[in-house]
Structure 1
């Protein structure tokens, strides 16, 4: 897979399987940007809002319109699980004219290595809510674009946060450096967070600022720096499976910093906001994210997850995932870093 313009791909066709929830009314469950019933005109509104350049009556237009119509059916199915806040809501976003296969190929390219079950202590007296953004140690949401680089964004996000927690200025580090140089991974074609962390630990590569090695959304040739060049070195990391132990996972977050996590994000293609509780299995890890906080004060406790799909997705680039039950496999592969 290469980075670049999404809409050069026009030949993939995918028919969404029949909906299992036959009692859902599209008119009742689907709304457009202004809250009224969706119509054919909304595809034009979508194209304008997200700057789609394919021409009307072209083959590309036909395919994108077909995928958009399938997405509308998908929203009805996903929203049928619960209409009451704070449940997750699904609808039109920047991915609504991609087929399911295209979405997976472009954005869900992470893999997870098996992690040992956590057997350490669980800290008592955890706060009811905790958010590393309140400490100003979390960098702004990034956009990986059409490149399967989520694994690199997750790892780099944790390293730059832990550096700031240690008292250094918050600085965005180079995702592109990890993308190009982590030889055990496949660049934009995907990778593993634990393999990237292992590479950083073994080689003691110094991650340089993003300003020195900017993100290109395509795999390039590794740019080496001298030993005297300034940068951030990973000292160590620990990866564990916290399934059934999400309270212990909360203590890891508070004690060590944001968590590098791999999840099943197939249903996240249509996510608009709210707390994800349903239709998100732990069967196949495919996307890496950064867990930066939690909140247990409401009726539904949830993790605060920073994604790498830009601020137009989800809750301004964030997702909320229910704590308990290992929703989306969020507790299966969890890593902390130390510098």
Structure 2
């Protein structure tokens, strides 16, 4: 509108100037034709200027949008300390994955309307494609577990959290190694050891990663196979300080039988599908449980209670169930992950109880020391 007003003003002024110039001898008809010609010319110039201005506005908006996206990506890279030497095609590819992730977050969040629902957004995995995320972090497998046939547990507390009893070690970070199966098993052993009355200490995940010959190290494994190896071999897990985690498969270090450590006497593995109340009883009776879940949508998880999106029907990630809470509108499991404390809710994820969400009840193991 501003351009139209300016162009109209210019047209009026020039017409007035023309009428008082030397062309006054022109006949009235010729004067009218000259005015018409000049008006057409002025309007054409005004239209061209307006078009260029609009084009500039659109270009500026597009550039601002791209710059905003680039700025978000740069902030993401700085926050999560991405390699500064990645340039060119690889950097562009990561930027595309980041942009696709932000679109995916909008879709996932469109289902999360309840106050306690899960929220999805930018985290340390936002520059990975879904396939890369699966290949790097979802490397667990679940051996078929028998349906639980034990007694129903009654009179369970409304809330249970083994962290409140100092029986859960801090969240660990498996890094770019498919070792979640080892972290879940070691986590269950650490908790069982503390519940027995010993001081809570972190045991060696690397020892399981290197020595469980039935599994494939960073290329994946099964909590049940690892527990079978621990039970049959009577291997004692040493403290993490003696056998630190390296995020890569190495050569197994053997220790003499006289060496101090923690060994597995026995374990159980069951399918609690349709029986999550009984699973709560197992958690109360035996301590934190190793479980294998479908974690495809966890690439984007930030917090809240997951109730949807675990739909691949493929168990692919091992975790540690440390508690539950049924006091609110949505009852949920409290699950410790192994992707570091910056992921999710300080390294934890909450999963709705009752519908076997994410396959949380499909393959659940309890450890006995």
TM over 0.5: yes
1:307 touches 1:319 (CA, 8 Å); kept in 2? Answer: yes
Residue 74 of structure 2 corresponds to residue 44 of structure 1: yes
Cα deviation 1:256-282 (Å, max 9, x = unaligned): 000100000000000000000001136
Q: Distance in 2 between matches of 1:141 and 1:62?
A: 32
1:282 touches 1:329 (CA, 8 Å); kept in 2? Answer: no
More relative contact order, 1 or 2 (CA 8 Å, 6+ apart): 1
DSSP-derived class of the 2:202 partner = coil
Q: Name the structure 1 match of 2:363.
A: 333
Cα deviation 1:198-221 (Å, max 9, x = unaligned): 000000000000000000000000
- Structure 1 or 2, whichever has the larger Rg, is 2
1:109 touches 1:148 (CA, 8 Å); kept in 2? Answer: yes
Q: Distance in 1 between matches of 2:145 and 2:318?
A: 15
Q: Name the structure 2 match of 1:305.
A: 335
Q: Name the structure 2 match of 1:220.
A: 250
Q: Name the structure 2 match of 1:196.
A: 226
Residue 103 of structure 2 corresponds to residue 73 of structure 1: yes
Q: Name the structure 2 match of 1:27.
A: none
Which residue of the other structure, out of 206, 228, 231, is the alignment partner of 1:176? 206
Structure with higher helix content:
2
| Aligned-residue offset at 1:40 | 3.4
Which piece of structure 1 moves more, 281-290 or 118-127?
281-290
DSSP-derived class of the 1:311 partner = coil
Q: Distance in 1 between matches of 2:104 and 2:144?
A: 32
Q: Name the structure 1 match of 2:94.
A: 64
Which residue of the other structure, out of 164, 171, 196, is the alignment partner of 2:194? 164
5+ residue gaps in structure 1? 1-37
2:304 touches 2:349 (CA, 8 Å); kept in 1? Answer: yes
Residue 311 of structure 2 corresponds to residue 281 of structure 1: yes
| Aligned-residue offset at 1:59 | 1.3
Which residue of the other structure, out of 203, 219, 240, is the alignment partner of 2:270? 240
Q: Distance in 1 between matches of 2:85 and 2:185?
A: 39
Which piece of structure 1 moves more, 51-60 or 313-322?
51-60
1:55 touches 1:61 (CA, 8 Å); kept in 2? Answer: no
Which residue of the other structure, out of 151, 158, 165, is the alignment partner of 2:181? 151
- CA RMSD, 1 decimal: 1.0
Q: Distance in 1 between matches of 2:210 and 2:81?
A: 29
1:282 touches 1:330 (CA, 8 Å); kept in 2? Answer: no
Q: Name the structure 2 match of 1:101.
A: 131
Q: Name the structure 1 match of 2:297.
A: 267
Q: Name the structure 1 match of 2:30.
A: none
5+ residue gaps in structure 2? 1-67
2:296 touches 2:312 (CA, 8 Å); kept in 1? Answer: no
Q: State TM-score, norm by structure 1.
A: 0.88
DSSP-derived class of the 1:320 partner = strand
Q: Distance in 2 between matches of 1:55 and 1:45?
A: 16
Q: Distance in 2 between matches of 1:181 and 1:212?
A: 15
Q: Name the structure 1 match of 2:165.
A: 135
Residue 117 of structure 2 corresponds to residue 87 of structure 1: yes
| Aligned-residue offset at 1:84 | 3.2
Which residue of the other structure, out of 326, 343, 360, is the alignment partner of 1:296? 326
DSSP-derived class of the 1:294 partner = strand
After superposing on structure 2, the runs of 4+ consecutive aligned residues of structure 1 that deviate more than 6 Å are none
Cα deviation 1:159-216 (Å, max 9, x = unaligned): 0100000000001000000000000000000000000000000000000000000000
Residue 146 of structure 2 corresponds to residue 116 of structure 1: yes
Q: Distance in 1 between matches of 2:80 and 2:279?
A: 37
Q: Distance in 1 between matches of 2:260 and 2:87?
A: 54
Q: Distance in 2 between matches of 1:134 and 1:40?
A: 43
Q: State TM-score, norm by structure 2.
A: 0.81
| Aligned-residue offset at 1:51 | 1.1
Q: Name the structure 1 match of 2:349.
A: 319
1:263 touches 1:328 (CA, 8 Å); kept in 2? Answer: yes
